[in-house]
Amino acid sequence: MIVSASYRSDIPAFYAEWFARRRAAGFCQVVNPYGGAPYRVPLAGPEVAGFVFWTRNAAPFLPALDGLAAEGLPFLVQYTVTGYPRALEAAVPPPARGVALIRELAARYGPRVAVWRYDPVMITSLTEADWHLEAFRRLAGGLAGACDEVVLSFAQIYAKTRANTERAAKARGFSWRDPDAEAKRALLAGLAEIARAAGIEPSLCAQPELSEARIRPARCIDAERLSAVAGRAIAARRKGNRPGCLCAESRDIGAYDSCPHGCVYCYAVRRQDLAKARYRAQDPDSAFLGPEPRRTPGGTPKPAARG
């Protein structure tokens, strides 16, 4: 089993202590976000083939990664660095810090461990296409030699994404738009050219409608890369999360509405006040990352209220 930690929250940045305690316990419990009973995910032992971590700040998590490396448990780090203005990313570490940490991961664990994510691409009055090309060029230059892949994608405009972005745009004085497919393909081609010049292979995350002949589809939960890091074969069937997703099967241990980074485009947070409140209230001794499910009078677990 590959454990994903987590595309629903930034566990390395905010929940390192919880993860360490759950690793010591050997498991965690996860509330099923689609309804149904909570489920148990092992975090140690022969069932665990490896981990994929998702983060914008690995610094608090380096002791946990050192521990996994010492045990011979392979891991990958999907590391997002975009450098957007604070109006879009309120509490994300500066891009230079992200670049330095990816370089540190490469020095500690090897250049295949970290995968740079430049996503989602958002077109706003603060981040037009030319802004992206220049920002991406600086980041790619800083990351040359420290990673060999960058994952690209445009923002998926879900209802909550639209509401949060429109609210932020009104409050912070910017405008935004979702470009047409032709404009998206043109920008992707420019970003891909810059990446390749820095020795970094671009990939495109679950957006086959934007596929450009020389940008391969991404596999964010990548059993082949994990196998290369491990030095042994790690078998996992393909089980994407949405159309066009080529990820290997995994179990995610995160919780929605728990990341306080404050990114306006985030698909995993409906309201920042809720995410901040849940972060402050999180119990590192709980088996659950998010709120524990309430019990019905008959003792059956009931998912916690979503706000």
CA distance 215 to 163: 31
Does the residue 77 lie in any domain?
yes
> Which among 162, 135, 161, 165 has a CA at the least distance from the CA of 150?
135
Query: Span 1-11, mean pLDDT?
Result: 97
Does the residue 296 lie in any domain?
no
Does the residue 298 lie in any domain?
no
User: 90-129: string of b/e by CB count within 10 Å (b at 16+)?
Assistant: eebbebeebbebbbebbeebeebbbbbbbbbbbbbebbeb
Whether residue 214 has pLDDT greater than 90: no
Does the residue 295 lie in any domain?
no
CA distance 147 to 116: 7
Q: List pLDDT tens digits, range 151-163.
A: 999 999 999 999 9
| H-run or E-run covering 88 | none
Q: With beta carbons less than 8 A apart as the criterion, state whether 66 and 110 touch.
A: no
When divided into structural domains, the chain yields a total of 1
> Which among 222, 277, 200, 289 has a CA at the least distance from the CA of 77?
222
CA distance 286 to 291: 9
Query: Span 200-229, mean pLDDT?
Result: 93
Please, which pLDDT band fits residue 212 given cuts at 50, 70 and 90?
confident
Please, which pLDDT band fits residue 263 given cuts at 50, 70 and 90?
very high
Please, which pLDDT band fits residue 213 given cuts at 50, 70 and 90?
low
Does the residue 144 lie in any domain?
yes
Please, which pLDDT band fits residue 302 given cuts at 50, 70 and 90?
low
SS3 (DSSP) at 83: coil
Please, which pLDDT band fits residue 59 given cuts at 50, 70 and 90?
very high
Alpha carbon 58 to its chain centroid, in Å, reads 12
> Which among 213, 191, 211, 189 has a CA at the least distance from the CA of 200?
191
Alpha carbon 285 to its chain centroid, in Å, reads 24
pLDDT, averaged across the chain: 93
Percent of the chain's residues with pLDDT above 90: 88
Does the residue 300 lie in any domain?
no
Token output for 155: 């923002």
Percent of the chain's residues with pLDDT above 70: 95
Does the residue 302 lie in any domain?
no
Q: Give the residue carrying structure tokens 């800083």.
A: 142
CA angle 141, 54, 176 (to 5 degrees): 70
CA distance 182 to 203: 18
CATH number of the domain that residue 231 is part of? 3.80.30
List the domain range (segments joined by +) for residue 128. Answer: 2-289
Q: List pLDDT tens digits, range 264-297.
A: 999 999 999 999 999 999 999 999 998 988 764 4
pTM flag (> 0.85): yes
- The Cβ-side half-sphere exposure at 116, using a 13 Å CA radius, reads 32
> Which among 45, 5, 49 has a CA at the least distance from the CA of 25?
45
Q: List pLDDT tens digits, range 92-128.
A: 999 999 999 999 999 999 999 999 999 999 999 999 9
Name which residue leads in pLDDT, 107 or 214. Answer: 107
Please, which pLDDT band fits residue 306 given cuts at 50, 70 and 90?
very low
